[in-house]
Amino acid sequence: KAGVTQTPRYLIKTRGQQVTLSCSPISGHRSVSWYQQTPGQGLQFLFEYFSETQRNKGNFPGRFSGRQFSNSRSEMNVSTLELGDSALYLCATKPGTSEWETQYFGPGTRLLVL
Amino acid sequence: DQQVKQNSPSLSVQEGRISILNCDYTNSMFDYFLWYKKYPAEGPTFLISISSIKDKNEDGRFTVFLNKSAKHLSLHIVPSQPGDSAVYFCAAIESGTYKYIFGTGTRLKVLA
């Protein structure tokens, strides 16, 4: 079974620009969650999509948004980029039908904002 | 407010000895706990999990202990190997939410 894929792997943007990141889940997984990892902050939860609907949301500003398509692929968008948005963005997927499921992570997209 | 805390940012252990990584939580509604390992430039990989109805779960060299009254869990790695050097995250799932809450991670260094 193919794993979780994320594109692109690396990205450099400048302040004020916007960026779109993509996540393709493991086949059969309908839940996709997004996380931001910065040094010392662990994995901060952004949001979770299940069957094209946002099911959970973290405490991030509205500049961070996402969506999920009918094939369960998900995109995350960050508008008006700030220097502090530089981070590793990880997506994680699971079947999504049970609470106690193991989540599987992609390799992440490293975003650098200059 | 950090609901899942890993108070030791780093830990060094000699090869062959036991590594003990600790995690504390504050939310009594958490009913499932997991440990992930992360190498640089890779996504976290799942290690082991435990539900709140158990107090111990083993998988090879890895054992997770849960003390619900103390709201504390720990991961034991025996024997530790240099390849275990990584950042370890604990995570908790709150009943009814489907949402993972992660700790800030502990960097384990196993010295050869």
Nearest 10 degrees: Cα torsion B88, A10, A13, B36: -20
Residue B98 region by backbone torsions, left for phi larger than 0, else alpha for psi between -120 and 50, else beta: left
Q: What is the pLDDT of residues B20-70, one digit of tens each?
A: 999 999 999 999 999 999 998 889 999 999 999 999 999 999 999 999 999
Q: Name residues whose C-beta falls within 8 Å of residue B40's C-beta, 6 or more positions apart in sequence.
A: none
CA distance B110 to B112: 7
Q: Which of B46, B98, B104 sits opposite A42 (nearest CB)?
A: B104
Predicted pLDDT at B107: 96
Predicted pLDDT at A100: 84
Output b/e per residue, B64-97; b: 16+ Cβ within 10 A: bbbeeeebebbbbbeebeeebbbbbbbbbbbeee
Angle at alpha carbon of residue B30, lines to B107 and B103, rounded to 5°:
20
Predicted pLDDT at A42: 82
A31-35, A68-72, B14-18, B91-95: lowest mean pLDDT where? Answer: B91-95
Structure tokens at A61: 């500003």
Residue B88 has pLDDT above 90, yes or no: yes
Strand residue runs (E) in chain B: 4-5, 10-14, 19-25, 30-38, 45-51, 56-59, 62-67, 72-77, 86-94, 100-102, 106-111
Interchain pair A56, B102: CB under 8 A? no
pLDDT band at B6 (very low <50, low <70, confident <90, very high): very high
Which residue type is seen at A105? Answer: F
- Distance, in angstroms, between A38 CA and closest chain B CA? 10
pLDDT band at B95 (very low <50, low <70, confident <90, very high): confident
CA distance A40 to A61: 20
Strand residue runs (E) in A1-114: 5-7, 10-13, 19-24, 31-38, 42-50, 53-57, 64-68, 74-78, 87-94, 104-105, 109-113
41-100 of B, contacting A, C-beta below 8 A: 41-46, 49, 51, 89, 91, 93, 95-100
Interchain pair A102, B44: CB under 8 A? no
CB < 8 Å to B52, chain A:
none
Predicted pLDDT at A1: 64
The mean pLDDT values, 10 residues at a time, for chain A of 114 residues are 91 97 96 91 91 93 97 97 96 89 94 96
Closest CA to B3 of B97, B71, B76: B71
Interface check for B26 against chain A (CB to CB < 8 A): the answer is no
A41-45, A60-64, B90-94, B103-107: lowest mean pLDDT where? Answer: A41-45
CA distance A94 to A38: 23
CA distance B6 to B103: 6
